[in-house]
Amino acid sequence: MENFQQYLDPQTLAKLQGLDFQARLIVEGYVSGLHKSPYHGFSIEFAEHREYVAGDDLRYVDWKVFGKSDRIYLKQYEEETNFACHILLDTSESMRYRSPGAACSKLKYAQYVAAALSYLVLQQQDSVGLATFDKQLTHFIRASSHPSHLKQLCHVMDQSPANGETGLGPIFHDLAERIRKRGLIVILSDLFDDIPSIQLGLKHLRHRRHDVLVLQVVDPAEQDFPFEDPTLFKGLEGLPEQLTDPRALRNAYRREFEGFLQECRRSCHDLHMDYTLLRTDMLLDVALRTFLQGRSRRLRRA
């Protein structure tokens, strides 16, 4: 089997053109890297049969029915009949950050994940939509299951640079009102905002009975703080520049940042939402496997 590992390195992907092409490489590498996939789509509970249409996935053919009737029917599942996934992509200025040793920015990494998830959902013949935002909603693409929809989503992401301040709480309230149909909400953000405000917005999404996955994207340097020499840190989203001695504040910074991550994780768990921390030095297939396996385990326990 072809080795996809070289394509799953964010640094390699950053050199390739086309998010839709990169999405295929990520998903193919994710699937081919497993002896048995732990995650076979979003469908859970059998609902009914429907007649086969050219292009349908043969994995869902009910061969017992075929043996009795000589006609091909697919098993259709409850989530499959109604399922829609909405990806909420943070494009605020803090997502632009890329430390000197990082392969790509937080935004670019989040785009890789968003494109791969969109491809995966469309492969299952489910619907996927996209919202991009900073403190305002910049794009809102309604969910569709048409295979060509991936190109539109990737085009919108390509045209969405990291600008503006963050306003997660109000955005989540806005989207909770826009996305009426119950579905899966995937949030890709560094969550660099006021935690109580984020909690209220997330609570609104849960009130709408959405299943919410929070994928917090951070740069390795933001968590590890590896700087040694006196450094001028450039402020983002309106904050001023600051010259500091990293060695003098490393321990305090790390404690503060880990506390912030723990608070984000706890907020999600309190609202019964899946939470996964994604560092931009993680291989993309590892990132997919990490949170999809976690979701699969939780659904089995439910």
We report the CATH number of the domain holding residue 28 as 3.40.50.410
Q: How high is the mean pLDDT of the chain? A: 81
Q: Is the pLDDT of residue 110 over 50?
A: yes
Residue 66 and residue 211 in one domain: no
Best mean pLDDT range from 24-38, 166-180, 248-262: 166-180
Of 78, 101, 132, the one marking the end of a domain is 78
Q: Which domain holds residue 113?
A: 5-36+83-301
- Cβ(205)–Cβ(176) under 8 Å? yes
Residue 3 has pLDDT above 80, yes or no: no
Overall domain count for the chain: 2
For residue 24, pLDDT beyond 80: no
Rounded to whole angstroms, the Cα distance separating 295 from 293 reads: 5
Nearest to 253 by CA among 225, 221, 277, 220: 225
| 181 and 210 co-located in one domain | yes
Q: What predicted TM-score, i.e. pTM, was given to this entire model?
A: 0.78
The mean pLDDT of 171-200, rounded to a whole number, is 94
Same domain, yes or no, for 91 and 210? Answer: yes
Structure tokens at 44: 């859970």
* pLDDT: which is higher, 280 or 42: 280
Indicate the range of 48-62, 125-139, 230-244, 253-267 predicted with least confidence: 230-244
Whether 41 is in a domain gets the answer no
Q: Is residue 230 part of a domain?
A: yes
193 within a domain of the structure (yes/no)? yes
Q: Does residue 148 fall inside a structural domain?
A: yes
Q: Are residues 208 and 125 in the same domain?
A: yes
Q: Is 159:189 a contact under the CB 8 Å cutoff? A: no
Query: At residue 124, does pLDDT exceed 60?
Result: yes
Average pLDDT over residues 98-116: 91
What is the average per-residue pLDDT within 234-256?
Answer: 71
Same structural domain, 70 and 143: no
CA distance linking residue 209 with residue 85, whole number of Å: 13
